[in-house]
């Protein structure tokens, strides 16, 4: 039976179908940075299209009663980001104590951010410094 909406997909437990309703093909909304925050990642999301997305953030569930996130689920999303040249940020493994679980994946941290974020930040910082020095260019 076809799913008509994100809510139908959630009720059916089909989170990959739900994800597809969140990332419509040929996205037309205007945003400086388009990103997906996949937190908490609680299952394998299968295959999905992230064309038009600039940044993917992945993290596990934290706090009392946190459910485990599997490394292969994270790896699959990382590979997808690599194939489609999308910045990947791994936030945390989750769990009750984030100090114990940390945020290393394959022995390293993934703190990637879209280049446009740096350009916007640095331009704003330079504009601020120029104003403080009384320069208006």
Q: What is the pLDDT of residues 71-127, one digit of tens each?
A: 999 999 999 999 999 999 999 998 776 667 788 998 999 999 888 776 666 565 556
Q: Has residue 79 been placed in a domain?
A: yes
Task: Give me the number of domains the chain comprises.
Answer: 1
List, for residues 50-66, the tens digit of each pLDDT value: 988 999 999 999 888 89
- CA dihedral (81, 86, 87, 90) positive or negative: negative
Phi then psi for 59, rounded to 5 degrees? -160, 160
Indicate whether 10 belongs to any domain: no
Residue 113 lies in a domain: yes
Q: Of 54 and 13, which is predicted with more confidence?
A: 54
Classify residue 104: in a domain, yes or no. Answer: yes
Coil, strand, or helix at residue 90?
strand
Helix residue spans in 23-114 (DSSP H): 71-83, 98-101
- Alpha-carbon distance of 86 to 61, in angstroms, equals 23
Judging by DSSP bridges, how do beta strands 55-59 and 87-92 pair with one another? parallel
Element (H, E) at 118: helix 115-132
Let me know if 60 is exposed, middle or buried by CB neighbors in 10 A (0-12, 13-18, 19+).
buried
Domain that holds residue 75: 31-132
């Amino acid at each position: 039976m076809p799913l008509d909406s994100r809510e139908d997909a959630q009720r059916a437990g089909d989170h990959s179908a739900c994800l597809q309703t969140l990332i419509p093909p040929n996205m037309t909304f205007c945003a400086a940075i388009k990103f997906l925050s996949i937190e908490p990642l609680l299952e394998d999301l299968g295959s999905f299209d992230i064309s038009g997305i600039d940044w993917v953030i992945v993290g596990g569930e934290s706090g009392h009663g946190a459910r485990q996130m599997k490394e292969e689920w994270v790896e699959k999303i990382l590979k997808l980001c690599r194939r489609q040249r999308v910045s990947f940020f791994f936030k945390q493994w989750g769990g009750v104590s984030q100090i114990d679980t940390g945020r290393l994946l394959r022995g390293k941290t993934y703190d990637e951010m879209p280049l446009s974020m740096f350009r916007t930040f640095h331009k704003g910082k330079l504009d601020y410094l120029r104003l403080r020095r009384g320069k208006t260019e």
